[in-house]
Chain A
């Protein structure tokens, strides 16, 4: 089983839609979780951390389910500028382990 797995998508949604991604991780020792965003041919950028109690930042909500070993990212009121690949990160130790990413395309 891969350490971090994500649905590659693409998720094609209209502007204003709500979309959610899940990411499963295999190492129960992972303590910190993150979502990164990567635009086409650009570097990844930290989007938000995922805390046990959940984390909300504007239109973005991240949640952690330790029992089922998955994290989720919810995007409300999608904008065209949200189109990107979203990478889930679940480091078991000192190094980041990235999922392959979920591609989101927001259409007008």
Chain B
């Protein structure tokens, strides 16, 4: 059973470009969570999605950031017009339906904005 998969593992973007981060949950998991970790900081919740639904986006910045989890395919976290402050590790986690607290994390995508 493959774990949570994220790609790319490393992404470099220039200021103003768009960044797309992908996350495929573990098989059988229908809940996806995105977190951001700035250097030397803790994990910050961004958004919680189920298939075709955003359940909680209270941690998402109001502008430039969006997330989706379509019926088919991976979850996508999109950052438009990236700025240097967006440089961070972005982790995706998934959980089974019956236990949203039991989350399994992917290896993360390290975004560097130059």
Residues of A within 8 A of B (CB): 32, 34, 41-46, 87, 89, 91, 94-101
Task: Supply 8 A–B pairs (Cβ within 8 Å), ascending by A.
Answer: A43-B105, A46-B103, A87-B43, A91-B101, A94-B55, A95-B33, A96-B103, A98-B45
Known: A87-B42, A94-B56, A98-B42. A44 touches B105 (CB 8 A): yes
Contact A95 B107 (CB under 8 A): no
Contact B107 A42 (CB under 8 A): yes
Contact A43 B106 (CB under 8 A): yes
- B104 close to chain A: CB less than 8 A: yes
How near does chain A come to B28, taking the closest CB pair, in angstroms? Answer: 17
- B91 close to chain A: CB less than 8 A: yes
Q: A44-B43, A101-B42 are in contact. List 19 more A-B contacts (CB 8 A).
A: A34-B101, A42-B107, A42-B108, A43-B91, A43-B108, A44-B105, A87-B42, A91-B101, A94-B56, A94-B100, A95-B33, A95-B56, A96-B43, A96-B45, A96-B101, A98-B35, A98-B42, A99-B42, A100-B41
Contact A98 B104 (CB under 8 A): no
What is the chain B residue whose CB lies nearest that of A44? B105
Contact B45 A95 (CB under 8 A): yes
A97 and B58 CA atoms in complex are apart in Å by: 12
What is the chain A residue whose CB lies nearest that of B91? A43
**Interface members, chain B 51-70 (any A CB < 8 Å):** 55-56, 58-59
Residues of B within 8 A of A (CB): 33, 35, 41-45, 48, 55-56, 58-59, 89, 91, 100-108
Contact A43 B48 (CB under 8 A): no
Contact A100 B103 (CB under 8 A): no
Contact A96 B33 (CB under 8 A): yes
Contact A94 B42 (CB under 8 A): no
How near does chain A come to B112, taking the closest CB pair, in angstroms? Answer: 13
A44 and B58 CA atoms in complex are apart in Å by: 21
Chain A residues near B35 (CB, 8 Å)? 98
How near does chain B come to A1, taking the closest CB pair, in angstroms? Answer: 15
Contact A45 B105 (CB under 8 A): yes
User: Which 4 pairs across A and B sit closest by C-beta, in order of nearness?
Assistant: A100-B42, A43-B105, A98-B43, A95-B45
